[in-house]
Amino acid sequence: MPDALTPSETAPSTAESPLTARRPIERTFHGDTFIDDYEWLRHKDDPDVVAQLEAQNAWTLAQQEHLAPLRQTLFDEIKGRTLETDLSVPSRDGDWWYYARTVEGQQYPIHARYRAAGPDDWTPRVLEPGEPVPGEQLLLDQNVQAEGHDFFALGSLDVSDDGARLLHATDTAGDERYTLRVRDLATGEDLPDEVRDTAPGAMFAPDGEHIFYLTVDDAWRPWRVWRHRLGTPASDDVLVFEEPDERYWVGVGLSRSKKYLQIELGSKVTSESWLLESDNPTGDFRVVWPRREGVEYTVEHAVLPASMVEPSSLSEPPSLVDPPSPDAPPSPAEPGETRDVLLILHNKDALNFELVSSPVPAPGDTVTPEVATVAVAHDPDVRLEGVSASERYLVLYYRRGAISRSAVLSLVEPVGASQAEPVEAPRLATPQATWSFQEISFGQPLESVGAGVGVWEQPNLKVGYTSFVTPSSLYLYDVASGERVLLKQQPVLGGYDPGDYDQRREWATAEDGTRIPISLVWRKDKVRFSTTGADAPAEPAPLLLYGYGAYESSIDPYFSVPRLSLLDRGIVFAIAHVRGGGEMGRAWYDDGKLRAKRNTFTDFVACGRHLADTGWTASDRMVADGGSAGGLLVGAATNLAPELFAGVLAGVPFVDALTSMLDPTLPLTVTEWDEWGDPLHDPEVYAYMRSYTPYENVADDASHYPRILATTSFNDTRVLYVEPAKWVARLQAAGAPAMLKIEMSAGHGGVSGRYSAWEQIAFEHAWVLDVLNLADH
């Protein structure tokens, strides 16, 4: 069949979009036939495809040329608020303090270290930006590594335990395949060792002689763990572990105690962990708890006081292959005596997860968490998310009331209630003693608090804190006293005052009556309220509504320098915490995936309507924003309620989801079936996805659709460029005011380098301001 458009008709024009040639093919599954006019755009090596993408890009840039001064202004504002020459707070590991610094005019960070003053040196130096660091040793300058490349990303960075060698793995194409090298830090030269096509996350074993790394299969799934010995060719590397089930991703790591090497693997619904004593890196890994379909768990090695885990203090016997006889009285623990345990966070018969403690299984044995000691019980209102252990404390991570939280338990001295706010839930308890985790809070209704556990021996915590109005702050937290000392707050140049801004939580009502949280932030003097304490602005404000809603990913309060340019022009920024995310617990996720996926889209629409109906904004003053799975969200919402939005910003959008899920040869498809369903083999899943996927459901006449900007990257391996390219082509053919901006040398995360990233943000924000008639502000 001849093309609907000849190649000459696709030349860019400032008046009309470069309509894409129609080359229809029939796609038939389960008795349903769909005519796909634009699948030919998938052929990345076809010159016609490249020409069409370049034509779309040229047209988009021409359409946006009038915004060039605004883009430059926005870029200058981001740059002007950012301390370009800066340093991170150092973190200690072994005999060194490690940090990264940036230099004005350079795109990438520089990694460096200085030697610790002694074994009791646990307080990082206060480093002044731009000032020389006494005793600094340069480890890796990413700017040097990136020279001569349009794209650069660092996938692995690790230093051997003896501090003598640096492992680094880099990607210069954007396809997430990294070349691994090892540097001698005494000479600054790379060793002959080189391994190509690795996945991120390579690491040294504690002996410093062996490296464990991952490789991916044809679907870009990490599935193999390899062991490399320094000084030997990559062809001699040993395959340590292989996971043939295409649903599972594999990772490798080291326990914080450095006692165990760990292999962790998981699908979207099932996981499994394997352990190996780290002093025997060439040994065989053993499974901790054999996988059970639908059961997820993580493992953390801890050393606890014996009094906390002795059988005499437990309501259930610990999980042992041969448990002690009930007739044998336990021996009382001696003062200072400790026990090695595994803290296992799992969801077997515990929707929001529970935390159990079990002795470390001997070789050939496994644990049974169902009969292990319950350390933190399941709570329907608290989603347990993780636990970290050190020599002196445990930190529990959880979510309550759509807010992430952290709590600490001292293993040396209990933290008194007068020193920190007691956690409302959960608690770690046995019949004879109660281990009370103490919640770390800064007293804000919308805040993000994360307690970072450093190395095993570290006596204190680093606590990160931010909100929508508070720049990211890092505190040194004394576990024994509860004292907090501010180490660093993200500098915001130009006289930023958090008191000029406000934040709030709203609740929308979904179609089925579910209450959906919405977070809002705005500049006080730009959004006028008629009376003190009013629930909404006196007149509708321009508003950017962001959403994601997949993979149980939660969008917590966070500070953003680029966002200030929008707030200062009167835009309200809002986040719709829709189902499919994890903000309200595991059930919140389950109610927005598979056959409940439509809830994600209708929740977003409900949030937009709530904000319009209550006077926060109006349909002609609201832009929807989402990236990746969030791009699917805003694409589906556009089809459902095109009249609700003035514009839609879709970054690397997963808008051709049904086509992707029907092709198991595509990257990540099989691993995604547990999230979206398997339309290839299940006709009901096919019909359900067919009913909501954005590409197939564009209206025949889409001239009433809002303005749409889709952005993507040619080398994206997660959401292929073809998805937004096809979507925009179909939208344009149906009369929608849609455009495509594509980076021809970037991956899923977009362009590399901070200045290039700022330019991309400025482009998108200028478009948003133009849609909202604020381009002249």
Region for residue 311 given its phi and psi (left: phi exceeds 0; alpha: psi -120 to 50; beta: otherwise): alpha
Q: Give yes or no for residue 50 having a pLDDT over 50.
A: yes
Options 628, 660, 713, 752, the catalytic residue:
628
**Who contacts 575 (Cβ-Cβ below 8 Å, separation ≥6)?**
518, 519, 520, 545, 546, 547, 555
CB hemisphere CA count around 97 (13 angstroms):
22
pLDDT confidence of residue 334: 67
Nearest CA to 584 out of 611, 609, 549 is that of: 549
Q: Are 267 and 248 in contact (CB under 8 A)?
A: yes
pLDDT confidence of residue 5: 35
Active-site residue flag, 235: no
Options 171, 379, 716, 770, the catalytic residue:
716
Rg over alpha carbons for the chain, rounded to the nearest Å, is 27
Burial of 423 (0-12, 13-18, 19+ CB in 10 A): buried
Amino acid, single-letter form, for residue 367 = V
Alpha helices in 479-541 (DSSP H): none
Active-site residue flag, 156: no
Active-site residue flag, 175: no
pLDDT confidence of residue 326: 37
Options 111, 346, 577, 748, the catalytic residue:
748
pLDDT confidence of residue 176: 85
Spatial strand order in the sheet of 572-576: 501-509, 515-523, 572-576, 543-547, 622-627, 647-651, 707-713, 738-743
Phi/psi for 224 (5° steps) reads: -130, 140
Phi/psi for 688 (5° steps) reads: -70, -50
Rounded mean pLDDT of 380-393?
Answer: 95
- Dist. CA 578–CA 606, nearest whole Å: 10
- Residue 178 β-bridge partners: 198
Structure tokens at 670: 């099989």
pLDDT digits (tens, 9 = 90+) for 329-358: 445 556 678 899 999 999 999 999 999 999
Structure tokens at 649: 């910003």
Q: What is the mean pLDDT of the chain?
A: 89
pLDDT confidence of residue 482: 80
What pLDDT band is residue 200 in, cutting at 50, 70 and 90?
A: very high
Nearest CA to 109 out of 129, 82, 88, 89 is that of: 88
Q: Give yes or no for residue 592 having a pLDDT over 80.
A: yes
DSSP letter (8 states) at residue 750 = B
Q: Which of 16-30, 252-266, 581-595, 612-626 has the lowest mean pLDDT?
A: 16-30
pLDDT confidence of residue 335: 64
Phi/psi for 229 (5° steps) reads: -100, 130
pLDDT confidence of residue 742: 93
CB hemisphere CA count around 407 (13 angstroms):
26
pLDDT confidence of residue 433: 32
Q: What is the pTM of this model?
A: 0.88
pLDDT digits (tens, 9 = 90+) for 60-103: 999 999 999 999 999 999 999 999 999 999 999 999 999 999 99
Q: What percent of the chain is predicted at pLDDT more than 70?
A: 90
pLDDT confidence of residue 364: 85
Burial of 716-731, coded b for 16+ CB within 10 Å and e otherwise, reads bbbbbbbbbbbbbbbb
pLDDT digits (tens, 9 = 90+) for 645-674: 999 999 999 999 999 999 998 877 999 999
Looking at 270-410, which runs of residues are DSSP E strands?
271-277, 286-287, 297-305, 338-346, 354-359, 373-376, 383-389, 393-400, 403-410
pLDDT confidence of residue 429: 36
pLDDT digits (tens, 9 = 90+) for 207-259: 999 999 999 998 889 999 999 999 999 999 999 999 999 999 999 999 999 99
pLDDT digits (tens, 9 = 90+) for 681-717: 999 999 999 999 999 999 999 999 999 999 998 887 6
DSSP per position, 228-247: EETTS-GGG-EEEEE---TT
**Who contacts 623 (Cβ-Cβ below 8 Å, separation ≥6)?**
543, 544, 545, 645, 646, 647, 648, 649, 768, 771, 772
pLDDT digits (tens, 9 = 90+) for 458-505: 998 999 999 999 999 999 998 878 889 999 999 999 999 999 999 999
Structure tokens at 481: 């006293």
Q: Which of helix, strand or coil describes residue 263?
A: strand
pLDDT confidence of residue 319: 29
